[in-house]
Amino acid sequence: MNISFSKSHRLFLLLIGLLLAACSGQTPAASPPAPTPVPSDTPLPVAQVTNPPASAVFDRLPQAVSPTGFPQLGFSNAPVSVTVYVGFGDQASRDFYTDTVLPLADRIRGGEVLLTIVPLAGRGDIANEREAARAALCAGEQDGFWSFTNHLFESAQTDSDPFSQAKLVEAANRLALDLALWDACLTGNHADEILSEADRQVSSNEIFTEIPFVTVNDASSLTDSESLNFTIDLAVRQFNERLQQALVETTPETTDEAVVLPPTMNEQVPPPLIIGLPSGWETGYDNLVLQDVDAIRTIPFAVYQGPITGGTGTIVLLWSFPNLLRTDGLQTTITPEMLREGLWLDGLRLLRLAIVENGCNVGTDLRREYSVGRMAAEGTQFAAVDCPELPDTRGWFAGLRQFNLNFVFYVYTEPIEAMDTAQDELQTILDTVLFSAPPTPDPAATPTAGQ
């Protein structure tokens, strides 16, 4: 199979269809899955939330706390850090939260923004504001801060005494908090320490003016939605430029010890692993010839495809490829961090070389940790739109090394919307992966160019 670089993407996807059709007698669908890409100068479409209730806007988003204890929402490696200073009893803060903060949910979900909220007490005109802030912070110990915050701002718009003790307990019950844990927090001083730290930061911040106040990557921004999004766009664009430069600087690293098996052209060799596939799923194997950044090389692949809730799921595995690591030319030791970054860069490179149709507008999110076989893997979300012949796609990939072999899994659905309900199903399949020792290379095999 001699596949030219210019047509490898299209032919690869066609080959997937032929393999699966041959294995199962069915005509599979080809298109990828999941979350939202980082926008570039030509923005990719973002999955929009259609007038969701405030209590549901931040559902299933990663929650954490800053080193100083402030609640955070989003991925820790997001390129843009947005910090908002608000008061629960302040009308301007409530309007700002509803009109500007809530609409950031898509950008948080897409990996662009890490949102930090700094609650300030005693600056509004509603009684018991400090207790409301303490109640929300204590709810955060059960991942309930954001839901509790949404409730407080909503109640402040409609109730005559929204922060009374009875109303706060009612909110905790409504959100199904563990009341014993919540009460234990309220009787302690942890929440007070966070509020004191908030006051300290404000008093020492020379650029702070009044609430609501917002910073983007530590620089102040206007609080209206249009201005804030413009500032975020600029920061994301700068990040993408740095990422592109990193990819350009990626070079082959000859000291890498990744095992690359000799090519077995036209042989369907399964990867050295066991994967638990649901009923109705089919499997296909083959080799792919690619013009890589440094050489022509053969990469074996496996395709797993079958029914999921709402459509068809596909997992494409590329394996037994070398890492192309980014070094300064002086590095002699491959560190674990270099290897993790290399797997991420490998996934990005092979996404464009082998998975996505040539001519698509491709967007990727940030490097972050996923799991395969319940082991840590490096990857990101991706999207491809405006493709010449194939439908718009979204998905994620995850790469890791086992037994000195490199593996990268690409996961997607058909149609795209099926990912909304089937993402957990597909991750469950990845969780079943069990790796085994690779086959012993045949010393008589003749490598192709670049091997």
The pLDDT assigned to 377 comes to: 93
Evaluate the CA torsion angle 16, 314, 348, 322 in order and state its sign: negative
Same domain, 318 and 382: yes
151-155, 208-212, 265-269, 280-284: the lowest-pLDDT one: 265-269
- Omega before residue 278 within 30° of 0, cis: no
Q: What is d(CA 70, CA 65) in angstroms, rounded to the nearest whole number?
A: 5
pLDDT class for 365, splitting at 50, 70, 90?
confident
In a domain, 49, yes or no: no
Please give the radius of gyration of the chain, using alpha carbons only, rounded to the nearest integer.
25
Mean pLDDT of 235-255: 62
Q: Smallest Cα–Cα separation from 107: which of 78, 146, 87?
A: 78
pLDDT class of 179 with cuts at 50, 70, 90:
very high
Higher pLDDT, 336 or 198: 198
Q: What is the DSSP string of 209-231?
A: -SSSEEEETTEEE-SSHHHHHHH
Same domain, 381 and 276: yes
For the question of whether the overall pTM of this predicted structure is more than 0.85, the answer is no
How many of the other CB atoms lie within 10 Å of CB of 67?
A: 5
8-state DSSP, 262? P
**What average pLDDT does range 317-345 have in this prediction?**
75
204 shares a domain with 160: yes
pLDDT-above-70 percentage for the chain? 74
The residue segments making up the domain with residue 390 are 5-34+252-435
The three-class DSSP label of residue 423 is helix
Percent of the chain with pLDDT over 90: 38
Q: How far apart are CA 327 and CA 249, in angstroms?
A: 8
- Six-digit token pair at 355? 């998975």
CA separation for the pair 221, 3 (Å, rounded): 50
CA 291 to centroid of chain Cα atoms: 28
**What is the rounded (10 degree) CA torsion for 333, 339, 345, 346?**
110
Domain stops at, among 217, 243, 269: 243
Chain-wide mean pLDDT for the chain? 78
What's residue 167's pLDDT? 92
Question: Is there a contact between 421 and 310 (Cβ–Cβ < 8 Å)?
Answer: yes
Q: Are residues 188 and 144 in the same domain?
A: yes
CATH number of domain containing 214: 3.40.30.10
- 287, 324: one domain: yes
Which is more confident, 204 or 384?
204
Lowest mean pLDDT among 185-194, 277-286, 291-300, 422-431: 291-300
User: Would you say residue 97 lies in a domain?
Assistant: yes
In this prediction, residue 4 has a pLDDT band, given cuts at 50, 70 and 90, of very low
pLDDT at 97: 93
Q: Identify the band that residue 451 occupies on the pLDDT scale cut at 50, 70 and 90.
A: very low
| Closest C-alpha to 137, from 117, 123, 154, 160 | 117
Tell me: do 211 and 274 sit in the same domain. no
Same domain, 285 and 387: yes
Q: Do 280 and 389 lie in a common domain?
A: yes
Contact in structure between 420 and 310 (CB atoms under 8 Å)? yes
In a domain, 53, yes or no: no
* Of the listed ranges 8-12, 195-199, 293-297, the one predicted with least confidence: 8-12
The verdict on residue 448 lying in a domain is no
Mean pLDDT in residue range 285-310: 84
Q: Is residue 374's pLDDT more than 60?
A: yes
Q: Are strands 213-216 and 375-385 parallel, antiparallel or unpaired?
A: unpaired
In a domain, 47, yes or no: no
pLDDT (0 to 100) of residue 257: 53
203 within domain boundaries: yes
Q: Let me know whether 387 and 311 are in one domain.
A: yes
> Contact at 8 Å (CB) between 117 and 70?
yes
Q: Is the peptide bond before 212 cis (omega within 30 degrees of 0)?
A: yes
Can you tell me which residue has the tokens 């300030």?
120
- Could you tell me if 168 and 135 are in contact, meaning their C-beta atoms sit under 8 angstroms apart? yes
Same domain, 234 and 277: no
Query: How many beta carbons lie within 10 A of that of residue 396, not counting itself?
Result: 25
Specify the pairing of strand 63-65 against strand 80-86.
unpaired
Count CB neighbours of 48 within 10 A.
9
Asked whether residue 19 is assigned to any structural domain, the reply reads: yes
Distance CA 32, CA 170 (A): 43
Tell whether 192 and 316 lie within a shared domain.
no
Residue 281 inside a domain? The answer is yes
pLDDT level of residue 100 (50, 70, 90 thresholds): very high
pLDDT at residue 52 tops 60: no
- Same domain? For 204 and 302 the reply is no
Q: Three-state SS for 15?
A: helix
More confident residue, 257 or 190: 190
Domain count, the chain: 2
Distance in angstroms (rounded) separating the CA atoms of residues 67 and 82: 15
Domain boundary at 221, 243, 265, which? 243
